[in-house]
Amino acid sequence: MVRIIALVLTAVMVCACAPGKVLRMTASGKIVCSDNDYKDSDVFDGSTDDDCGFGLIGRIGHGIPFTETQDADGPVGSTRPNNTMEFELGYLRQGDTEFDGLYQGTPDEGTIEADGLVLGLVYTRRISDKFDLFANYGIFDWEVEEEEEFGGIPESHDASGSSPYYGFGGRYWFMPKVSLRLGWNRFTDVGKSSETGKGDIDNWSLGVDYLF
């Protein structure tokens, strides 16, 4: 499934290549703080505590060429395209969820972990020499693990699958090729109800982008 999507997205990027456009590559590292919704409130009565994780993402794409002006000290203005459509691929470790409560009346406590690959498209619009806005959409190829004590008995559960994600955010370029990136993403239907719990994950992330 993911391989098919990768081929489709790659084809889209190749088709987007046209004379007069410029190729740009970006590497990104970020901290993600998660709001996870694995536990169904209809059957679980208790507390959950969501932690922070991290992501390492690479992006490649084409954009409308930038222009630079010159003064006595050298280039002034942006060193990046005005608008880009990028293909992104990377690793994401969601924040862990610790839970403690009652599942259908039985004591239940433990930890849920999720990680996997993200694969998607990002559209970026340059607002000024310092600011960009972006929106993204793609697939999260996830693995979820749950370690718990259910009624005092240790248990382990795991699940894997693929789910859509989407989001938006902005970047501030404090150096010509380095920016701070703030974003929000929603990952839908992560997990398996009968094994690890299943729900949406909302992420706020803060990271650094480097433009090659």
For residue 134, what are its two tokens?
Answer: 């972006």
Q: Tell me how far apart the alpha carbons of residues 82 and 199 are, in angstroms, rounded to a whole number.
A: 37
Q: Is 65 exposed, middle or buried (0-12, 13-18, 19+ CB in 10 A)?
A: exposed
Residue 147 is predicted with a pLDDT of: 94
pTM of the predicted model as reported, rounded to 2 decimal places: 0.83
Residue 204's contacts (CB-CB under 8 Å, 6 or more residues apart) are 32, 33, 182, 183, 184
Could you read off the pLDDT tens digit of each residue along the chain, which spans 212 residues? 555 455 455 545 555 555 555 677 889 999 999 898 888 777 888 888 999 999 999 998 776 554 444 444 444 444 555 677 888 999 999 999 999 998 888 899 999 999 999 999 899 888 888 899 999 999 999 999 999 998 889 999 999 999 999 999 999 999 888 999 999 999 999 999 888 889 999 999 999 999 88
User: How many helices and strands (H and E) does the chain possess?
Assistant: 1, 12
Residue 32's contacts (CB-CB under 8 Å, 6 or more residues apart) are 52, 53, 54, 55, 92, 93, 94, 95, 203, 204, 205
Identity of the residue numbered 157: H
User: What are the extents of the domains in the chain?
Assistant: 2-211
CATH match for 2-211 among 3.40.80.10, 1.10.10.60, 2.40.160.20, 3.90.180.10: 2.40.160.20
CB 26 within 8 A of CB 75: no
